[in-house]
Amino acid sequence: MNVINPDLAAPDTDAATELTARDFTTDQEVRWCPGCGDYAILKAVRGVLAEAGRRPDDVVFISGIGCAARFPYYLASYGFHTIHGRAPAVATGVKMANPDLDVWVVGGDGDFLSIGGNHLMHALRRNVDLNLIMPNNAVYGLTKGQYSPASATGMRSPSSPAGSVEAPVNAALLALGAGARFIARSADTLQDHLPGVLKAAQANKGASFVEILQNCVVFNDGAFEAVRDKGLTADRTLRLEHGQPMIFGKDRDKGIAVDWQTGTARVVPVGDGGPVYDVTDHDQTNLALATILARMDAPDLPLALGVLYHAPADDFTVQRGDAPGRVIGRADLTGLLAAGKTWTVGDADVA
Ligand SMILES: Cc1ncc(C[n+]2csc(CCOP(=O)(O)OP(=O)(O)O)c2C)c(N)n1
Ligand code: SF4
């Protein structure tokens, strides 16, 4: 493990100084493959950080291992490139020790859903105030293309040469099941959409989970045609807006009608100008609706993008009764480790 970004360039920020994306940019050479979707995500993240106005030295990016996990190198904030799957646990410690920090966690679908599924689940259910972003390329990129828990059934890869027989994990559903109170979805290519979703995630006080569909040009190119192909996006995706009827399509001529009895959704035609009888309004506080939206996918239904669920609840610091601004002082780790019941292993104990 290494603490990175020694060149943390905290600009002379005071309340009056306007930050730009450059203030969050390091001198590190960005080492993703040409055309990787992570570039676009990085661009959006830098812009959102600048707009949020937190000083770079108030921001921390924590990652596990993977291509996506390289984010901390490229952001002029504090950063910690930790261990595969463990970033949510490390981030929880950072946030608990200093609740005033703006803590982001970045991990790929392997990092968050496979080896780190456990840590992700607990950060979500505890509602630790973290912004967890998961570039989902549905493959293990860094280790050269093995199938991941998010890979489509049938995907051939070095570790599934005859085609995966498994159903992919639905990340949004998993987050809902874990008790997450903020769940959103966007995509690398949607630069008119992703920043807004990230802003909403950052503004939420609690665990915010954002799945970002990301193209891995080398090992899983075109996995998310619905968001990559401009000609298809309008008809294959639904952009959610809280309180607004769920209408989509190039000509805005289709809507989503929810059947609350069966918990299913169907596409209905939307008439010209007249009242939209059947179309359901999006309510991001509605858990049942979020479950239906999370499951929607091709070929019958559009993929739901935006904030699927946002039902704010006390974050972990409030649950444990912190006074506002509480910062934990220095701990005596050695004393802590030596406290309580300790013993010395002698020869007799070694069989
Ligand atoms: C404990 C441990 N197990 C396995 C690995 C090997 N490993 C590194 S990254 C990775 C998966 C990367 O895939 P993903 O998290 O989806 O990120 P991507 O590279 O696609 O962005 C694996 C299996 C590791 N570094 N550490
Ligand atoms: S292997 Fe895939 S995810 Fe990794 S940098 Fe290359 S294109 Fe991006």
pLDDT tens digit sequence for 247-272: 999 999 999 999 999 999 999 999 77
Average pLDDT score, the chain:
92
Q: What is the pLDDT of residue 229?
A: 85
Q: Whose CA is nearest to atom 2 of ligand 1?
A: 84
Ligand 1: centre distance to CA 215 (Å): 16
What's the chain's length in residues? 351
Q: What is the mean pLDDT of residues 206-214?
A: 98
Nearest ligand by distance to the CA of 220? 2
Which residues, listed in sequence order, are joined to residue 63 by a DSSP beta bridge?
81, 106
Q: What is the pLDDT of residue 68?
A: 98
CA nearest neighbour of 114 among 93, 142, 95, 91: 142
Q: What is the mean pLDDT of residues 197-219?
A: 98
Q: What is the mean pLDDT of residues 50-62?
A: 96
Tokens of 105: 């966690």
pLDDT tens digit sequence for 278-288: 899 999 999 99
Give the confidence band of 320 by pLDDT, cuts at 50, 70, 90. Answer: confident
Q: Give the integer Cα–Cα distance in Å for 93 and 97.
A: 6
pLDDT tens digit sequence for 289-314: 999 999 999 999 999 999 999 999 99
347 phi, psi to nearest 5 deg: -55, -40
- Answer yes or no: is the C-beta of 141 below 6 A from any ligand 2 atom: yes
Q: What is the mean pLDDT of residues 160-165?
A: 97
Question: 292: how many CB neighbours lie within 10 A of its CB?
Answer: 21
Percent of the chain exceeding pLDDT 90 equals: 80
Q: What is the pLDDT of residue 273?
A: 64
Q: What is the pLDDT of residue 2?
A: 34
Q: What is the mean pLDDT of residues 331-338?
A: 83
Query: CA neighbours within 13 Å on the CB side: how many for 22?
Result: 2
- Answer yes or no: is the C-beta of 71 below 6 A from any ligand 2 atom: no
Give the confidence band of 345 by pLDDT, cuts at 50, 70, 90. Answer: confident
Give the confidence band of 351 by pLDDT, cuts at 50, 70, 90. Answer: low
Ligand 2: centre distance to CA 217 (Å): 6
Q: Give the integer Cα–Cα distance in Å for 228 and 310.
A: 26
Nearest ligand by distance to the CA of 69? 1
Q: What is the mean pLDDT of residues 85-97?
A: 96
Low-confidence winner among 13-22, 51-60, 78-87, 215-224 (lowest mean pLDDT): 13-22
Q: Give the integer Cα–Cα distance in Å for 296 and 35.
A: 28
Tokens of 110: 């392997």
- Answer yes or no: is the C-beta of 215 below 6 A from any ligand 2 atom: no
Q: Which residues line ligand 1 (CB under 6 A)?
A: 65-68, 84, 107-111, 115, 135, 137, 139-143, 148
